[in-house]
Amino acid sequence: MAEKSLEEKVKDIIVDQLGVNAEQVTNEAKFIEDLGADSLDTVELVMAFEEEFGVEVPDEDAEKLQTVGTVIEYLKDKTEK
Amino acid sequence: MKLENKVAIVTGAGRGIGAAIARIFAQNGASVACVSRTLENAKKTADEIQAMGRKAIPYAVDVSSAAESEATIQKIFTDFERVDVLVNNAGVTRDGLLARMSESDWDTVLDTNLKGAFLWTKPVARAMVKQRSGCIVNISSVVGLVGNGGQSNYAASKAGLIGFTKSVAREFASRGVTCNAIAPGFIVSDMTDSLPDAIKQKVVQAIPLGAFGKPEDIAEAALFLASPAGHYVTGQVLAVDGGMTM
């Protein structure tokens, strides 16, 4: 089986964490407005991303990650370094 | 066994109220991370618990130090793998009239009693949120409720803990994590032993039940909050004070 792409892993985590349907998790979807996350959910999501990808996300970066797409771009950038 | 297979961190576990809490938790089945400023005191309590056949590890740390606290908490998670109960009990006094209080006496008390609770609660609460369960107990004081001449720094730190407790309780309630405070009255300990006899007598007169409390009285309250029996209680301040603050 092929290794899952970063994008797929990110979306899996979001589906799992927020209990939403995979179809809702588009790149444009906003965590709070579109996916019904509360502020603690967003903290938990960042914790889950940090764990999955072995990166550290400073609070000032975390605040900017408001859509699924920005998270994917951010993590791609972080993990390529 | 009210705390079978649970892991608890108790700060200030070397003596007094903290040692009593660590002991009663272990008697009820918990493994305990015993945190104290000195290894000697931490080890004393940990040894007692190990003698009961429970797991206990001593950690020497100044809870007001962010770096020391972070490193120790990481070590605790490695050693115990999870944490179910955190008791922020470590506390110090630097009593004196406000008119003569030094900035360093203010800072020492606030840094240990209040900032220490912040430094320990933050990482532990994150882990509790993830596991969708956990219990945080902050040891405040009646002095934080009614004030006390000569203890403006201590009273401020203990009142601060109450606001902190209620805010943490609100933030994490949706994740199954509770946070409560216990406000002990005058309890027999090294901290109250240092009071002059004249003051002790005056204090006793102000206690409706007519005597100082014992560390075990506070430990029983902490056990209730940490056990399944206390699962529906959050954001509360439980005064265990012989009736002083009714």
pLDDT in tens, B90-136: 999 999 999 999 999 999 999 999 999 999 999 999 999 999 999 99
Tell me if the domain spanning B7-236 has CATH number 3.40.50.150.
no
Active site residue B154: yes
Range name among B42-46, B193-197, B210-214 with the lowest pLDDT average: B193-197
- Residue B191: band (very low, low, confident or very high) from pLDDT cuts 50, 70, 90: confident
Indicate which of B70, B129, B172 best probes the interface with A, i.e. most A CBs within 10 Å of its own CB: B129
Give me the pLDDT at residue B122, please.
Answer: 97
Q: Distance from B34 to chain A by nearest Cα, in Å?
A: 27
Average pLDDT over residues A56-76: 95
- Statement: residue B9 has pLDDT above 70: yes
Give me the pLDDT at residue B199, please.
Answer: 85
Q: What H or E segment, with its residue span, contains residue B7? A: strand B7-11
- Statement: residue B28 has pLDDT above 60: yes
Summarize pLDDT for B233-242 with one digit per residue, the tens.
999 999 999 9
Is the Cβ pair B174, A40 closer than 8 Å?
yes
Average pLDDT over residues B80-93: 97
Q: Which residues of A31-69 are buried (b: 16+ CB within 10 A; e: fewer)?
A: beeebebeeebbbbbbbbbeeebeeebeeeebeebbbbb
For chain B, the domains span: 7-236
Is the Cβ pair B130, A44 closer than 8 Å?
yes
Q: Distance from B120 to chain A by nearest Cα, in Å?
A: 18
Rounded Cα distance between B230 and B137, Å, is 11
Q: What percent of chain B has pLDDT over 90?
A: 94
- Statement: residue A2 has pLDDT above 70: no
pTM confidence score: 0.93
Give me the pLDDT at residue B139, please.
Answer: 98
Give me the pLDDT at residue A80, please.
Answer: 85
Assembly ipTM: 0.81
- Statement: residue A1 has pLDDT above 60: no
With a CB cutoff of 8 Å and minimum separation 6, the contacts of B39 are: B58, B60
Give me the pLDDT at residue B189, please.
Answer: 87
